[in-house]
């Protein structure tokens, strides 16, 4: 860990979008883990939950779209500048953590309710939290396939990351952009890479996230506990009953090239989550805010706090 070097990289990434977050530390009641929350602006609170292997600053390209809101960008335990998990991840403690994650973060910040924007593993945390603590949510945007969604697929790089020997082997080599581009292609961003749409500021920051934090080590261990070479452990799959208990108005913004799940996975989720809406995004992958930051940020903000109110169904 080289916190100073990582902070320099992070500051440069935020500055590319004209932003300079404040920062708070919050101790989660459920696990005792201290996490970092970056804060931008004032207004209705919007909590951003990232996937993995990743960290909160991944949201920098779209945070600016939520002007007039208090944007709360959290580093999940073990990522960015948050403390690691206090124990080996198992189904029982992961589900307990997920059920309370949003409430624990909001309690630490002294906030009663918030809008939530979530992606991938963050999407799993948000859906379980919404089912367990609906009173803490206003509205929710799910960007791409949530982890453990029914029918979800497992890209090759994540199957490889599940194996300890592979993580140890790759850890012998410095991160490089070419490998990052291969992974981006595997998760559905080939069209944007070919068109030069993936922000270079993101690529630079993500390399330094790997170099100067322990995110890859910790998220690699997490992935190894829920994924094997055969794919995701089906024991973690979000059940129909849990999804039916999500009463929060929810918009799924789904990249048509998302390698974790195609349109059929998205449509099933919309059927299971009451009152949910779906927008399928052309030429977008698993991290769709990288494909079209301005357009996707505008869609998300309009749904959460703007005049536009999407009706339940598929678009």
pLDDT of residue 306: 76
Distance CA 272, CA 279 (A): 16
Q: Rounded mean pLDDT of 185-200?
A: 97
Does pLDDT of 312 surpass 60? no
Q: Rounded mean pLDDT of 222-246?
A: 93
Domain holding 206: CATH number?
A: 3.40.50.1820
pLDDT of residue 170: 80
Tell me the pLDDT of the chain averaged across its residues: 93
pLDDT of residue 313: 40
Residue 23: phi, psi to the nearest 5?
-150, 140
Does pLDDT of 191 surpass 90? yes
Of residues 159 and 173, more confidently modeled: 159
Q: Rounded mean pLDDT of 98-118?
A: 98
pLDDT of residue 168: 83
Structural domain total, the chain = 1
pLDDT of residue 307: 41
Give the DSSP per-residue string, the chain: --HHHHHHHHHHHHHTTT---EEEEEE-TTT--EEEEEEE-SSSEEEEE--SS--GGGGHHHHGGGTTSEEEEE--TTSTTSPPPSS---HHHHHHHHHHHHHHHHHHHT-S-EEEEEETHHHHHHHHHHHH-GGGEEEEEEESPPTT-TT----HHHHHHTSHHHHHHHTTS---HHHHHHHHHHTT-HHHHHHT-S-HHHHHHHHHHHHHSSHHHHHHHHHHHHEETTEE-GGGPPPHHHHHT--S-EEEEEETT-TT--HHHHHHHHHHSTT-EEEEETT--SSGGGT-HHHHHHHHHHHHHSS--PPSEE-
pLDDT of residue 88: 62
Q: Rounded mean pLDDT of 185-209?
A: 97
Distance CA 263, CA 128 (A): 22
The residue to which tokens 């082997």 are assigned: 169
Does pLDDT of 165 surpass 80? no
pLDDT of residue 315: 38
Distance CA 71, CA 57 (A): 12
pLDDT confidence bin for 167, thresholds 50/70/90: confident
Cα 37 to chain centroid, rounded: 14
Q: Rounded mean pLDDT of 49-58?
A: 98
pLDDT of residue 311: 38
pLDDT confidence bin for 164, thresholds 50/70/90: confident
pLDDT of residue 308: 41
pLDDT confidence bin for 60, thresholds 50/70/90: very high
Whether the CB-CB separation of 45 and 72 falls below 8 Å is answered with: yes
**Helices 200-212 and 215-226 sit at what angle, rounded to 10 degrees?**
90
Q: Rounded mean pLDDT of 5-21?
A: 98
Whether the CB-CB separation of 140 and 116 falls below 8 Å is answered with: yes
Distance CA 301, CA 284 (A): 18
**Helices 177-186 and 200-212 sit at what angle, rounded to 10 degrees?**
110
pLDDT of residue 89: 65
**What percent of the chain has pLDDT above 70?**
95
Q: Rounded mean pLDDT of 127-148?
A: 98
Residue 142: phi, psi to the nearest 5?
-105, 115
Q: Rounded mean pLDDT of 23-47?
A: 97
Whether the CB-CB separation of 250 and 140 falls below 8 Å is answered with: yes
Does pLDDT of 260 surpass 70? yes
Could you list the residue range(s) of the whole structural domain that residue 271 is in? 3-314
């Amino acid at each position: 860990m080289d916190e100073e070097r990582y902070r320099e990289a992070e500051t440069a990434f935020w500055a590319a979008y004209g932003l300079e977050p404040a920062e708070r530390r919050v101790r989660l009641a459920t696990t005792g883990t201290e996490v970092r929350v970056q804060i931008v602006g004032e207004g209705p609170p919007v909590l951003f939950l990232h996937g993995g292997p990743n960290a909160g600053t991944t949201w920098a390209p779209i945070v600016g779209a939520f002007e007039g809101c208090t944007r709360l960008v959290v580093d999940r335990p073990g990522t960015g500048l948050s403390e690691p998990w206090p124990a080996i991840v198992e189904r029982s403690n992961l589900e307990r953590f997920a059920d309370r994650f949003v409430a624990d973060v909001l309690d630490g910040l002294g906030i009663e309710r918030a809008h939530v924007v979530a992606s991938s593993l963050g999407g799993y945390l948000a859906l379980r939290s919404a089912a367990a603590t609906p009173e803490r949510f206003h509205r929710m945007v799910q960007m791409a396939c949530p982890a453990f969604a029914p029918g979800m697929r497992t890209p090759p790089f994540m199957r490889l990351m599940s194996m300890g020997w592979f993580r140890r082997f790759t850890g012998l080599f410095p991160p490089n952009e070419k490998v990052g581009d291969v992974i981006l292609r595997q998760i559905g961003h080939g069209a944007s890479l070919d068109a030069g749409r993936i922000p270079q500021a993101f690529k630079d920051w993500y390399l330094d996230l790997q170099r100067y934090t322990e995110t890859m080590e910790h998220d690699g261990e997490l992935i190894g506990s829920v994924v094997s070479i055969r794919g995701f452990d089906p024991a973690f799959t979000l059940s129909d009953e849990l999804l039916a208990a999500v009463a929060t108005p929810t918009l799924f913004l789904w990249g048509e090239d998302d390698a974790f799940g195609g349109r059929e996975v998205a449509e099933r989720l919309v059927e299971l989550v009451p009152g949910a809406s779906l927008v399928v995004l052309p030429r977008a992958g698993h991290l769709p805010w990288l494909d079209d930051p301005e357009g996707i940020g505008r869609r998300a903000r309009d749904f959460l706090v703007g005049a536009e109110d999407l009706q339940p169904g598929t678009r």
